[in-house]
Amino acid sequence: MSITILGIESSCDDTSAAVIRDEVMLSNVIASQAVHEAYGGVVPELASRAHQQNIIPVVSEALKRAGVTPEDLSAVAFTRGPGLMGSLLVGTSFAKGFTTALNIPLVDVNHLQAHVMAHFIKRSPDDNTQPPFPFLCLLVSGGNSQIIKVESYNEMTVIGQTIDDAAGEAFDKVARAVGLGYPGGPKIDKLAKEGNPDAIEFPRAKVAGSEYDFSFSGLKSSVLNYINKCEMKKEAFDRADLVASFQNAVVDVLVTHAIHACREYNFEKFAIAGGVASNSALRSAMSKACEDNGIKFYHPSPILCTDNAAMIGAAAYYEYKAGVRSSWDLNAVPNLKLGEK
Ligand code: KG4
């Protein structure tokens, strides 16, 4: 009998619902919240209010596009954490209410595990582009930058991570400093195409004593200092060159660390996940580095890298098949770590 899961994602500022049937994505609806643009970053209170407005229309649309009714569902899955508490609570409460009304199981999902599980979302029943276990995955998003050993759908070990800012956070802060607005990653990605990535030499930080860890706060400060110096001297700078050089420094560090980890741990399969994994410069640099080193490179389509509910449904599908059922009294956990339930 087929398994049909409704996935719900509301950890930050995207309200998303998706229907997954036996690993195949039948629908994936994402409502992004434009309200934060005016503030240059996510305002938690506004995010949870927007989730409340969006959740019912988004779920209705996901069911409609998938051609399923609530009675066809085997279970409802939701993001338990990590994320913003007010945002997580909207998805958590909705999932609890919906499963209670339908008298079907509830499955809680770890958002970080789900980013990796985006690789297992099939476009059709004969889609076999998924990476075979084990593989190494670089998860780079607004809240995380981690290198993860992936042994199975729920056995994941972090071997390196950022000791300060996440890569996406650095993109967002630099974008704000040059007046590009929020979210900064896609805007830097676009503007960088017009700039020279070697115009300004920004630092590539190394973390003493831990070769797989990252540090992006020094790079971010260096970009901000560069802008301040230019402003003090009343010198103009080329925004495209600046963001291209910043992006180049981030990509360089991510690629170097990832390839080093693949070599040291003997991985011939490497995957990327998370919002920053949709960055075009990172995708092409990683693709080339993997090719040069005889490593097979796996990359979900950009829409499945940024926050979406299809990855929640995909992660929950494996949990559900393994017999995992969540209790109706569990709560959202804003600082949930990879590997924690
Ligand atoms: O995975 P995601 O949607 O949310 C989290 O789980 O954090 O990642 C959002 C982050 C933001 O910091 C955003 O600026 C960044 O991913 N991002 C990008 C790109 N698209 C999104 N960064 C660089 N280039 C992109 N094309």
pLDDT at 341: 75
pLDDT at 39: 86
Mean pLDDT per segment of 10 residues, for the chain of length 341 residues? 96 97 97 89 95 98 98 98 98 98 98 98 95 98 96 96 96 95 94 98 92 95 97 96 98 97 97 98 98 98 97 98 95 95 75
Task: Measure 239 CA to ligand 1 centroid, in angstroms.
Answer: 20
User: pLDDT of 311-328, one tens digit each?
Assistant: 999 999 999 999 999 999
Task: Measure 101 CA to ligand 1 centroid, in angstroms.
Answer: 35
Task: Measure 214 CA to ligand 1 centroid, in angstroms.
Answer: 17
Q: How far apart are CA 180 and CA 93, in angstroms?
A: 35
Q: Is 334 helix (H, G, I), strand (E, B) or coil?
A: coil
Which atom number of ligand 1 is nearest to the Cα of residue 184? 14
Task: Measure 72 CA to ligand 1 centroid, in angstroms.
Answer: 33
pLDDT at 11: 98
Task: Measure 328 CA to ligand 1 centroid, in angstroms.
Answer: 31
Which atom number of ligand 1 is nearest to the Cα of residue 169? 12
Tell me the pairing of strands 155-161 and 145-152.
antiparallel
Cβ neighbours, 10 Å, residue 233? 8
Contact 156, 139 (CB under 8 A): no
**Among 80, 95, 119, CA closest to 298:** 119
**Within 265-307, where are the H helices?**
280-292, 302-305
Q: Whose CA is nearest to atom 22 of ligand 1?
A: 185
pLDDT at 182: 87
Instruction: Copy the structure tokens of residue 311.
Output: 């990855």
Q: How far apart are CA 96 and CA 87, in angstroms?
A: 15
Which atom number of ligand 1 is nearest to the Cα of residue 278? 26
Cβ neighbours, 10 Å, residue 56? 13
Q: Whose CA is nearest to atom 2 of ligand 1?
A: 275
pLDDT at 177: 94
Looking at the DSSP bridge assignments, the partners of residue 271 are 137, 298
Amino acid residing at 208: A
pLDDT at 108: 98
Q: Whose CA is nearest to atom 18 of ligand 1?
A: 185
Q: How far is CA 186 from CA 102, 106, 206, 262, 306, in A?
A: 39, 34, 26, 27, 11
pLDDT at 124: 95
Pocket test for ligand 1, best of 79, 276, 311 (most atoms within 8 A of CB): 276
pLDDT at 73: 98
Amino acid residing at 100: T
**Ligand 1 pocket, Cβ-based, cut-off 6 angstroms:** 12, 141-143, 168, 171-172, 183-186, 189, 274-276, 278-279, 306-307
Cβ neighbours, 10 Å, residue 292? 9
pLDDT at 49: 97
